Structures are given as C-alpha cells and as structure tokens.
Amino acid sequence: MRKRILTIYLFTISCFGLSPVIGQTDKLIDKDVSIFYPAHYNAKENQPSFALLKEPKPMGNVPKNWKIKPDFYSKDGKTIVALPIAKGTDLYGTGENVGSLVRNGKKVTLWNTDNFRYLADKGKRLYQSHPWVLGVNKDGTAFGVIADNTWKQDIDLSDSIRFISDGPAFRVIVIQRNSPQEVIKELTKLIGRMEMPPLWSLGYQQCRFSYVPDTRIKSLADTFRLKKLPCDVIWMDIDYMERFKIFTFDKKNIPDPKGVNDYLHAKGFHSIWMIDPGVKVEKGYSVYESGSKGDHWVQTADHKEFNGKVWPGECAFPDFTRPETRTWWSGLYKDFMATGIDGVWNDMNEPSVFDGPNGSMPIDNWHRGGGNLPADVHLRYHDVYGMLMVKASREGILKANPDKRPFILSRSGYLGSNRYAATWTGDNTGNTDNMKLSIPMVLNLGLSGQAFSGPDLGGFALNTSADLFGQWIAMGTFFPFMRGHAAKGENNKEPWAFGTEIENVSRTALNRRYRLLPYFYTLFNEASKNGMPVMRPVFFADPKDTTLRKEQQTFLVGNDLLIIPKWAVNPIQPKGIWRIISIAGENSTTDKYQADVKLKGGAIIPLGNIIQNTTQFNLDSLTLMVSLDSNGKATGTMYEDAGDGFQYQHGAYLLSTFTAKQAGQKVEVKIAAKGGNLKPTGRKYKIIVVTDKGTVETGWTTDTKVSVKLPE
C-alpha cells in the first residue's frame, strides 16, 4: 500500500512537476542514479531544476544495497542534507574553490560573489555555485551528489557531506559508479554538456582592462603579428563603452567599432566585447528606455524598480527569470553583433552591486518569473542570475549569427551553466600562490561539469614580475581557456612586456599550444559528447592509486599528456610509461620555464603546424607522435571539422583513429577513418616514435600505413 502511494506521489511530481510530497521517498532515475526526496518537499519551491536538463523520471526502486543515502533534517532554521562518507574517501568538486584540490574538511558558501583577489571570506564564496560533490572511494569506485536547489547554501565537508540551505527542503541526486570518470559522464548527462566551441576560442587570447582607444587595439594586434607570437582573440573591456553604458560605444575611443573589428579580422583575429547586466538609469538611453517600457527590471521587496550602483552609476537590473525579459535581452545583441563582434564577455553577473549588501542585491528583492518559473525572492534566484543571463545572451548571439558557434565568457555560474558559457576564475592576483592555485581551481571546475575554464594568465591584480609571467604562460598554455589579462593601473602583461627572454619563452609556449590544437580540439569534442574535462587531475590516470589523489602541482591534458610545470616540487607521478616529448623544438629538461610534457606509453597524439592564428589552421600535414606501451602498442584518435558553424551536426566531420604496433625493430602505424563524412585529400603524415633511447622520425608521406624502423 505504502509503495503504491509513493508511486502516485512520484507520478504526480513527474507529470505536473508542482505537487508537494509528504514523507521521504526515493527512486532510481537512471542506472546507478537515485533521487531522494525529503519530507515536506514542495516542488514549487525548488522546481523546475536549474541544474538538471530535464525533470528526472522514476524508473524503479532504489536497490537495497545502495550505499550513499542522505539524511534530511532541519536545524536553526536551515534545511540540511547529510551524507556519511566512509574513511579513505576523497572529495572533489564544489565548483570554483580557493585552496586544495581535495575538498575534505572544507566549507564553502554557494552565494555568487564579486570577490576581488579572493579576499572576502578568505575566498570561501566566489563567483560561482556548484551544489555538487564528487567522492572517490578508497578502492577507486566513486559517487557524486547534486543538491538540487538554487537557494543560498553552504557545503560543509568537515566530517561528512552536508548541504546546509537557507531555503526550503530540497531533493538530492546520488550517482554511484565504478570510477570518477564514469561519475562525471553521468553528471554531465544530467546537467548537460557544452556545445562544440569555435576553434578560434582555443587559441591564445589577449585582454586588459582596457585596451582603448582604437589605435591601441590596432597596434596591439600588429605587435602580435610582427613578433610572431600566435594569438587569436583581442578583448574589449568596459572602457570601450560610452560612460559604461552597455550596448554603446564611446565616440572618442571607439568612433568606428566595425572598423576595429574589420581591422582585427583582416589580421586573423577575433574580437570579444564586454556586456554587463547593470543598465544605467538615464532618460533617453535606449536600453534603459526599452527595458523600462517592457517592465524588465528586478524589483525591491515592495515591488518597485530596484536600483543599485555599478560602473555606470545608478543602474537597473534585468529580471532574467522573466521569459519576456530574456527575449528582450536577446534582441539587444542583433545590432551589437552586426558590428562584426565575434564573442561576448558577460561580467559582473553575480550580480555585483557596489552599494548593495555583500556587494549584491538585497535577498528580499523580487523576481517575477514566468513560464514554469515561480515568482520568488532574490535569495532563491541569486545564484542562477548569471546563468539565466548567459542563457539569454547565447540565444541572442545565435539569432544574430545563426551560422556561427556562439562564444560567451561568464564570470558567474551555477551547476549546468557549462551549457551556455565558458568561464574564468575571476579577479586573481599576480603572485606565485595564485598561479599555483589556478591548477586545482580549474581542475575542480572540470570535476563539476565546467570543462572550459582558465585563470587570468599572469594574474589580474598587482604587478607581475617577468619570472612569474614566464612560469605562468609556460604552464597556462596547457589550460582549456587561455587568456592573458591585467587590471587597470597594473603593469603591461603582454608576452613582450617583460623583455626578450620572456618574449621568447612565451613564443615557445604558444607554439606548443598551437601545435597541440588538433589534440585539444579532439578533447573539446569529447567534452561536448561525454562531459569529460579537458584538463584532468593526475589521479584520473589511475583512480585506484590513492597516492595520486592529492596531486595538484601537475595535471593531465586528456588522458595522454602529463604536464609538469618547472616549479613543481616532487610531484607524485602516475605509474607506467610516461615519456618526455618536445613539441615545438624546445628541450624542457634544460629549459628554465617550459613545462615537461610527458606522453603516456600506449598513446598517439596528433600535432599540427606552427601557425599564427587559427584562420591558418589546416591539417594538410599532420604529425603523429607515438609512445609505445610495454606490449609495443599505441592508439590515438583525432576529431576534426570546419572549426565553426553547425555542419558537423550533419556529418561534416572526421574522426580518425591511429594505431601502432611493434614487430621486431619495426613499428607499423595505421591511420583509418572511423566516423563522419569528411575525407582529407592528399594529407601528408610524419610519424615520430618516442622511445627511451630517443626519437625516430619519418619523412612526409601520404600513405596511411607507415612503417618506422627503430634503431638497434
């Protein structure tokens, strides 16, 4: 009888989405994935889910031997979910964090905060919220927990996993799998994956607060080309606007925005321009006027237009919970993008409000919602404000340029915002500590479903020394998102700003990235298909090897490359064969800056040519670097497509496989097409076999079966 009632509850939830459930229930919703409901769960207070792509459907009962079970209770006016953890369990995830890769013992607050230099609350609340914990058991099996609510909450990992929310009772989803990789695949199946980004967004990007006037932007671009420092994107920060009014251009600094974009395009650059959420309250300013006319602003508790100070002065803030407001916001991008803008940077979207409580809006501000989204207080919608903003931005950009892949960088985010935007780790500092910190930060974002991220390379705040910049770019060249940035008033941080030595260090580092683009692109394709991060923790090499669990000075790119920055002291290395390779003529073993890059035994990676930007990208001549395993075998894959547009969704791509097998002193390498309709014509290959005694290299050949003779 009881079971039957539960089934009815769940049926009701899944059909109508909004019925309260009395009494704790649980159901299986996918293979090894269960959902647990607390007593007094009121769907209206938490649904629709922002994290989940779709409302889960019950498909059976939770198996009797299910291990990770939540306890629901409330205390001191807070709603709490606790999950015990077994000894020897290592915890990860929780999104963007300051501190160690392993999260055991840590507490974070999920309350998106404009946290300059990570100083407020010792960095325990940052720009993003990921109510998600990944657990890796002692034996290498793993689990993950999603706290499916958007209310202000803490994650407390001091002795167990606890989500402590200021909101009403909420449900949790638990994934149990054989490996952390399998958990991440399931997580991203539930929350969604990023779409294929445009190839140009994988190149090096140069930013500063701010490059103005237009002549400075142009000479910046010229310098990259003159010095043969590969670069794909120039970024325009807020000073391009007229008195910080979004969707305007300052007449003095940028008299001809289209001219700037045309100039950049002619030199093989793409351009990204900033748009903040705050709209200046000003009579006659078209964005404020049309926003007011459409009644698009977030309201105060007594339902008046809320105003707060940001860069332009007094501002109103779009209420992105309203479908009409998102449509209006999307529409603003049409004329903006028509000036030839390629990508958009949505900043300050926590939202940051200079004169508001804790640097944001009052928690009792009012969001009106609409569609299936209930009206509710800011306390509920704060952490998804930025996510809703970039969702609307993405729709607008896609509408303006329907044949191009949108690129958006968002500072704030919530579990699942990887569906709409890439991210960076906000306003870090130009010191060694922050450089090192960026590794665990980006790794945990990847372990929380956000594969496309990186820090401000070189450090945003404070002056950066030549040596630090050299170390940072040598390491940062292997991060998924690679952008140099600098705050207003700090020293110049372009690759040439520190003298010839560091300029040369930068060139080599950039050449390494550009040669690796076919490999990176393949990894981004993987992330778009199964959610695996591009940059991976070293313990992914062997989740059963508990000695690797804390390693955070070094990292993996994909499964096959191990990156060891020069400053790493006694890093723990995965067992097995890992051979140092030279990618762009460097010898990292004697170099002061270039990170050691080790290729896994058993792997084959594709390398392109040194180019100055991705408009020159081609695979007419492809180098395959082979590192055999102890059985004399190796394999690899490569994904390619047009690099932009959506034809790849209709078969216009090519997936190639590479295999190598040693027989006596010979290594036979085969290249085969595995999927997709593209067919390369006359592609030339060069094989490099990396052995313990050095490398063996073939000449160029169009044969797809190549035999390489190893030295005696």
CB 310 to ligand MIG: min, Å = 8
Annotated catalytic residue: which of 26, 45, 427, 586? 427
> What is the β-pairing status of strands 132-136 and 90-93?
antiparallel
Taking the least distance from each CB to ligand MIG, the nearer of 410 and 623 is 410
Taking the least distance from each CB to ligand MIG, the nearer of 241 and 316 is 241
CB 401 to ligand MIG: min, Å = 24
Q: Which member of 170, 209, 288, 317 binds ligand MIG (CB under 6 A)?
A: 209
| 465-484: contacts with ligand MIG (CB under 6 A) | none
Taking the least distance from each CB to ligand MIG, the nearer of 457 and 523 is 457
Read off the tokens for 306.
Answer: 């809320």
Chain residue at closest Cβ approach to ligand MIG: 209
Taking the least distance from each CB to ligand MIG, the nearer of 90 and 490 is 490
Read off the tokens for 580.
Answer: 């140092």
Establish if 426 lies at the interface with ligand MIG (CB under 6 A). Answer: yes
Active site residue 45: no
Active site residue 239: no
Q: 364-383 b/e with 16+ CB inside 10 Å = b?
A: ebbbbbeeebbebbbbbbbb
Establish if 606 lies at the interface with ligand MIG (CB under 6 A). Answer: no
Annotated catalytic residue: which of 26, 148, 342, 350? 350
Annotated catalytic residue: which of 347, 490, 526, 586? 347
**Residue 227 φ/ψ, nearest 5 degrees:** -90, 0
Read off the tokens for 153.
Answer: 């909450």
CB 408 to ligand MIG: min, Å = 14
Q: 585-620 b/e with 16+ CB inside 10 Å = b?
A: ebebeeeebbbbbbbbbbbbbbbbbbbbbbbebebe
Residues 595/566, Cβ–Cβ less than 8 Å: yes
Angle at 615 between CA 609 and CA 618, to 5 degrees: 40
Distance separating alpha carbons of residues 436 and 464, to the nearest angstrom: 14
Q: How many residues bind ligand MIG (CB under 6 A)?
A: 10
Distance separating alpha carbons of residues 108 and 162, to the nearest angstrom: 11
Read off the tokens for 663.
Answer: 């027989």
Q: 153: which strand partners? A: 110, 165
Taking the least distance from each CB to ligand MIG, the nearer of 257 and 636 is 257
CB 238 to ligand MIG: min, Å = 4
Taking CB under 6 A as the rule, which mask of x and - marks residues 236-275 in contact with ligand MIG?
-xx-----------------------------------x-
Q: Which member of 427, 526, 586, 644 binds ligand MIG (CB under 6 A)?
A: 427
Chain position carrying tokens 């199964």 = 530
Taking CB under 6 A as the rule, which mask of x and - marks residues 165-204 in contact with ligand MIG?
----------------------------------------
First to last CA, the chain: 77
Q: What is the largest CA-CA distance in the chain?
A: 84
| 300-359: contacts with ligand MIG (CB under 6 A) | 347-348
Alpha helices (H) along 538-633: none
Establish if 96 lies at the interface with ligand MIG (CB under 6 A). Answer: no
CA distances from 243 to 239, 246, 297, 348 (A): 8, 9, 21, 16
Q: Which member of 103, 296, 411, 536 binds ligand MIG (CB under 6 A)?
A: 411
Taking CB under 6 A as the rule, which mask of x and - marks residues 645-674 in contact with ligand MIG?
------------------------------
Residues 424/403, Cβ–Cβ less than 8 Å: no
CB 318 to ligand MIG: min, Å = 18
Active site residue 250: no
3-class DSSP state of 325: helix
Taking the least distance from each CB to ligand MIG, the nearer of 376 and 383 is 383
The DSSP 8-state label assigned to residue 501 in this structure reads: H
Q: Which residues are catalytic?
A: 347, 350, 427
Which residues would be at the binding site for ligand MIG (CB under 6 A)?
209, 237-238, 274, 347-348, 411, 426-427, 485
